[in-house]
Amino acid sequence: MIKAVIFDFDGIIIESEPLWVEAEIAVFKSIGIELTPELCRHTTGLNTQDTLEYWHGIYKWTGKSIFQVYKEIMETMQVLILERADLKEGYLDVLQLFVDKRLPVAVASSSPLKLITTALKKFHLFEFFKIISSAENEEHGKPHPALYLGAARKLGIDPVNCLAFEDSFNGAISAKAARMKLVTIPDSHDFTSTRFDFSDLKLPSLKEFREKQFEYINSIN
């Protein structure tokens, strides 16, 4: 039985993946590295520190430390979220469904806590969340299950009684490795991919998740 719901943040609550791509491309260009949106997809779902270590392992740039690049990406994202971030279409209805059921809701995200808090306050959603977990406070980020396990522990709910919403492959692996029920909302270019087939439910949009879908997920042993 589902007793709590845990949402990924980027790509589930807010439409931020394009903003991350924009920020990464701009900051990496300042150190002479030409990333593309296609290349940025290689690290979707990873936390920023792991993303930077991944690219540094390939390009081994000099001139700016990994910490400085991290700081510049965070500063750029802070501005972009405040100026241009939108909620994912259908998210408010999904959230209201669980609020009406009095199920505790949480966030488990690879994003830094500051960015999550900034967005939730911007859209007046902060008070709905019992727990906000960021990978920056975990030893391991997604696809390791630590982030989801930590969120469940803080909620006081067994992970097998939690429902996770994810859009990225790394995030989906993380939630399933934590033994949670899983709904995936992949990007359109990933929706037909079979790599998300281990999900309990795969949907093209949050708009497709309603009472019927909740009952189906809740019936799975």
If we measure between CA atoms, which residue out of 118, 111, 117, 110 comes closest to residue 131? 117
If we measure between CA atoms, which residue out of 209, 150, 203, 143 comes closest to residue 176? 143
Q: DSSP character for 36?
A: -
Q: Among residues 8, 50, 86, 197, which one is catalytic?
A: 8
What tokens were used for 17?
Answer: 């993946």
Q: Is 10 a catalytic residue?
A: yes
Q: Among residues 10, 86, 197, 200, which one is catalytic?
A: 10
Residues in the chain: 221
Residues ≥6 apart with Cβ < 8 Å to 220 = 181, 200
What tokens were used for 25?
Answer: 């491309």
Distance (Å, rounded) from C-alpha 92 to C-alpha 94?
5
Chain-centre distance for alpha carbon 202: 16
Asked if 210 and 100 count as a contact pair (C-beta separation under 8 A), the reply is no
Asked if 1 and 171 count as a contact pair (C-beta separation under 8 A), the reply is no
Tell me which residues are annotated as active site.
8, 10
